[in-house]
Amino acid sequence: NAGVMQNPRHLVRRRGQEARLRCSPMKGHSHVYWYRQLPEEGLKFMVYLQKENIIDESGMPKERFSAEFPKEGPSILRIQQVVRGDSAAYFCASSPRQADDTSPLHFGNGTRLTVT
Amino acid sequence: SQQGEEDPQALSIQEGENATMNCSYKTSINNLQWYRQNSGRGLVHLILIRSNEREKHSGRLRVTLDTSKKSSSLLITASRAADTASYFCAHPSAGANNLFFGTGTRLTVIP
């Protein structure tokens, strides 16, 4: 049973370009979470999705950022018109149930976005 | 902010010694979890303790939870060089839809 798969592992974009980060949850998991981590810091929640629905996007910037989790295919975190401040590691996690249950999250190895 | 705080921020010990990391949080919780992150990798779940539990063991790990003080500790006994990593506590908040992570403790175990 493959774990959470994220790709690409590393992504370099110039300012103003778009970044698309992909996440395939563990088999059987329908809950997906995106987190952002700056160097030497903890994880900051961005968005929580279930299949075809955004449940909580309170941690996501209102502009330039969007996320989806379609019925078929991976979850996508999209950052439009990237700026240098978007440079960070973006982690996806999945679980079979909602996070406020006693269900741990399973993390991917992240996508490291560098904006030049 | 609901984010927890951990201390120390960094801890360096000799192999074979015990390592203790502490976590404080601000809200009511129904469970608290500890995760480990190796450099350049994702987080790995270590142990979960429910709000009605005071102590839990898993191998060389011992976790305590004091809900009256809103604090938890993670003890790693007989540490090994391979335990070198960052350790984070995390908790769901009542009514929230995600886990809030602490700021982490960077543990270095010197062989």
Distance CA B38, CA A58 (A): 28
pLDDT at residue A110, rounded to an integer: 97
Q: What is the DSSP string of B4-26?
A: -EEE-SEEEEETTS-EEEEEE--
pLDDT at residue B84, rounded to an integer: 98
Average the pLDDT over B54-68 and give the result. Answer: 97
Q: Which of A37, A60, A100 to mutate to test the interface with B (most CBs of B within 10 A)?
A: A100
A17–chain B nearest CA distance, Å: 25
At residue B96, does pLDDT exceed 80? no
Nearest to A18 by CA among A80, A95, A76: A80
At residue B1, does pLDDT exceed 60? no
| Structure-token pair, residue B104 | 């982490």
A36–chain B nearest CA distance, Å: 11
pLDDT at residue B93, rounded to an integer: 66
Strands A10-13 and A111-115 come out as: parallel
Q: Side by side, which strands form the sheet with A19-24?
A: A5-7, A19-24, A75-79, A65-68
Average of per-residue pLDDT values in chain B: 91
At residue B103, does pLDDT exceed 90? no
In chain B, which residues have their Cβ closer than 8 Å to the Cβ of A93? Answer: 42-43
At residue B95, does pLDDT exceed 90? no
At residue B91, does pLDDT exceed 80? yes
- Bigger pLDDT: B44 or B1? B44
Contact B27, B40 (CB under 8 A): no
Residues constituting chain B: 111
Distance CA B108, CA B10 (A): 8
Return residues 29-48 of A near B (CB < 8 Å).
Answer: 33, 35, 40-45, 48
- Bigger pLDDT: B48 or B3? B48
Residue B4's pLDDT band (boundaries 50, 70, 90)? Answer: low
B106: β partners: B10, B86
Contact A80, A61 (CB under 8 A): no
The beta-carbon neighbor of B98 closest among A33, A104, A107 is A33
The percentage of chain B sitting over the pLDDT mark of 70, rounded to a whole number, equals 93
At residue B14, does pLDDT exceed 80? yes
| pLDDT profile of chain A (116 residues), mean per 10 | 90 98 94 91 91 91 95 95 96 83 87 97
